[in-house]
Amino acid sequence: MARTEFRKRGGRVSLDKIPTEPPKGITKKNARERFAALGEELFELQDALWGAKVNSVMVVLQGRDTAGKDGTIKHVAGCLNPRGVQVASFGVPTPEERQHDFLWRVHRHAPRHGEFSIFNRSHYEDVLVVRVHGLAPNDLWKQRYAHIEAFERLLAAEGTIVLKYFLHISRKEQKKRLLEREGDVHAAWKLSANDWRERDRWDDYTAAYEDAISVTAAPHAPWIVVPADAKWYRNLVVAQSIVETLRQYRKPWKRRLEDMGRQARAAIADYRR
């Protein structure tokens, strides 16, 4: 599957060299079938995560305007039991948020044991939009890489599985999506003139993303670059990557459920004596 994962700090990230389109040979129909199977497996894994309550999952979605953050949430989170999922969207900081450190608003949405948090944008905006538009002094935002790194290490040490996705669309596809939305009276509400202003800074964002991915990639908090020009392929890649990660926890979660089950049975047997 064409996706590029970064699991180690300091790797070279050249977004221009990573495809935005699905690989040849995979069809939409085939992808839909695989997605459905993955969705069922994800649901089953979520049940074990929920019961075992030793881990949690933080899914960070980043990408340019129209890259498909909302669509990914709709489709991938749609496979999950809503009881155990929280979606948090991070926009322009409120006056209150501005009076705190940049992680304050993010940390409150970190998932509880047993649950998923899906981030529509995230703490990474503070080294992306903030850098591109000079919203904080250089020496301040540059320190944030280290803070982010420490934050994600803290989460991982306490049981959070951190997965970070960059939804990678081409400049051409973005233009097409912006114009399509503009032409559809029921979709135009999603747009703002700002989307075009941001598009003008394409290369600055590329540089900001490449640095953020390179500096904050870690084995416990990998970045996955997702070819996102085709929505059906993007959904498949994200679902597959989450499932492949969680599969590694299936055995320990099931063991924990068995332990809990034995304890519950013993307590009931005690009561009956």
Binding residues vs ligand AMP (CB under 6 A): 90-93, 121, 125-126, 129-130, 135
* CA-closest candidate to residue 43, choices 246, 266, 260: 246
Q: Which is nearer to Mg ion, 47 or 195 (CB)?
A: 195
Q: Which is nearer to ligand AMP, 45 or 69 (CB)?
A: 69
Which of ligand AMP, Mg ion, none binds 260 (CB below 5-8 Å, type-dependent)? none
Q: Which is nearer to Mg ion, 118 or 217 (CB)?
A: 118
In sequence order, the β-bridge partners of residue 62 are 166
- Alpha-carbon distance of 226 to 228, in angstroms, equals 6
Which of Mg ion, ligand AMP, none binds 145 (CB below 5-8 Å, type-dependent)? none
Total Cβ atoms within 10 A of residue 200: 8
Which of ligand AMP, Mg ion, none binds 126 (CB below 5-8 Å, type-dependent)? ligand AMP
CB of residue 166 vs ligand AMP: minimum separation in angstroms? Answer: 15
Specify whether the CB–CB gap between 170 and 229 falls below 8 A: yes
Which of ligand AMP, Mg ion, none binds 150 (CB below 5-8 Å, type-dependent)? none
Q: Which is nearer to ligand AMP, 81 or 194 (CB)?
A: 194
List the structure tokens of 141.
Answer: 């935002």
List the structure tokens of 150.
Answer: 């420490």
Specify whether the CB–CB gap between 160 and 58 falls below 8 A: yes
Q: Which is nearer to Mg ion, 69 or 164 (CB)?
A: 69
CB of residue 148 vs ligand AMP: minimum separation in angstroms? Answer: 12
CB of residue 86 vs ligand AMP: minimum separation in angstroms? Answer: 17
DSSP letter string, 47-82: HHHHHH-S-EEEEEEEESTTSSHHHHHHHHGGGS-G
List the structure tokens of 39.
Answer: 């969705």
Residue closest to ligand AMP, measured at CB: 125
Instruction: Please give the residue ranges that form the binding site for Mg ion (CB under 5 A).
Output: 65
